[in-house]
Amino acid sequence: QITLRESGPTLVKPTQTLTLTCTFSGFSLSTSGVGVGWIRQPPQKALEWLAVIYWDDDKRYRPSLKSRLTITKDTSKNQVVLTMTNMDPVDTATYYCARKWELGWFDPWGQGTLVTVSS
Amino acid sequence: DIQMTQSPSSLSASVGDRVTITCRASQSVSSYLHWYQQKPGEAPKLLIFAASRLQSGVPSRFSGSGSGTDFSLTISSLQPEDFATYYCQQSYSNIFTFGPGTKVDIK
């Protein structure tokens, strides 16, 4: 059974850096073709893909946020970490991580973590 | 980036109705198109992958079709548990994009 769980702060101040950790089980990020992605959803709005990291350490980012995002993995700990710099109130959202399959769908998803950006 | 649109943005339907949601890509995505269901307060759940392949455990009343730029998700007989928001997502490009969602509620 594959599970993922997001963890990190629930509240960050504007200009601060957000660090979120995705801890997963049931698969290995050293297996060819495997990826883990981050997706966010502002309150009452649509899903927005942020970043993905692959088994070979290839990384892709949402172009509009590329300068602010960094995704890394720790294969031994089964963790993927997303950092987002210079947080702004518009970054308030539920942040999800999910396993990415080779042909591109995300399944399953973690339960999500709500991050509020406010002073 | 490949832009995704969905129509309608919302619809009201009754239990037992046949419901079809459409998704259009700004350029061809071949069959790299996937559908998710999201209920309030929950994470999205994969329904259909590769345009028409039913995810394990998903009821057969859900089906997907299309290729290229035009896709559809059909619920053959709407059930109470199907009232939710549905999103399409393309993975043809390595810059993944989701549609804006279609909310299905009770008439």
Each residue of B36-52: pLDDT tens digit? 999 999 999 999 999 99
- A35, closest residue in chain B (CA to CA): B94
B59-84 in b/e form (b: 16+ CB < 10 A) is eeebbbebeebebbbebeebeeebbb
Q: pLDDT tens, A42-84?
A: 999 999 999 999 999 999 999 999 999 999 999 999 999 999 9
Structure confidence by residue, pLDDT tens digits, B88-105: 999 999 899 999 999 999
Nearest to B43 among A103, A105, A109 (CB): A109
At residue B107, the pLDDT reads 86
According to the model, what pLDDT value does residue B106 have? 86
Query: Taking a contact as any Cβ pair under 8 Å apart, which residues of chain B between 78 and 107 contact chain A?
Result: 87, 89-92, 94-101
Whether A117 has a pLDDT exceeding 90, the answer reads yes
A vs B: CB pairs below 8 A: 63
B40 touches chain A (CB under 8 A): no
Pick from A62, A101, A107: which is nearest to B95 by CB? A62
Compute the nearest-CA separation of B39 from chain A (Å): 12
H/E/C letters for each residue in chain A? CCEEEEECCCEECCCCCEEEEEEEECCCCCCCCCEEEEEEECCCCCCEEEEEEECCCCEEECHHHCCCEEEEEEHHHCEEEEEECCCCHHHCEEEEEEEECCCCCEEEECCCEEEEECC
| Residue A108 to residue B89, Cβ atoms within 8 A | no
pLDDT surpasses 90 at A29: yes
* Residues of A whose CB is below 8 A from B89: 47, 49, 104-106
pLDDT in tens, A95-111: 999 999 999 999 999 99
Give the confidence band of B23 by pLDDT, cuts at 50, 70, 90: very high
Confidence of residue B16 (pLDDT cuts 50, 70, 90): very high
Task: Identify the burial level of B94 via C-beta atoms within 10 angstroms of its C-beta, where 0-12 means exposed, 13-18 middle and 19 or more buried.
Answer: exposed
Closest to A93 (Cα-Cα) out of A35, A22, A53, A38:
A38
pLDDT at B75 over 90: yes
Given a cut of 90, is residue A13 above it in pLDDT?
yes
Helix (H) or strand (E) holding B5: strand B4-7
What is the pLDDT, as a whole number, of residue A110?
Answer: 98
Pairwise CB contact (< 8 Å): A46 & B32: no
- A86 to chain B, minimum CA–CA distance in Å? 22
Residue B12: predicted pLDDT: 97
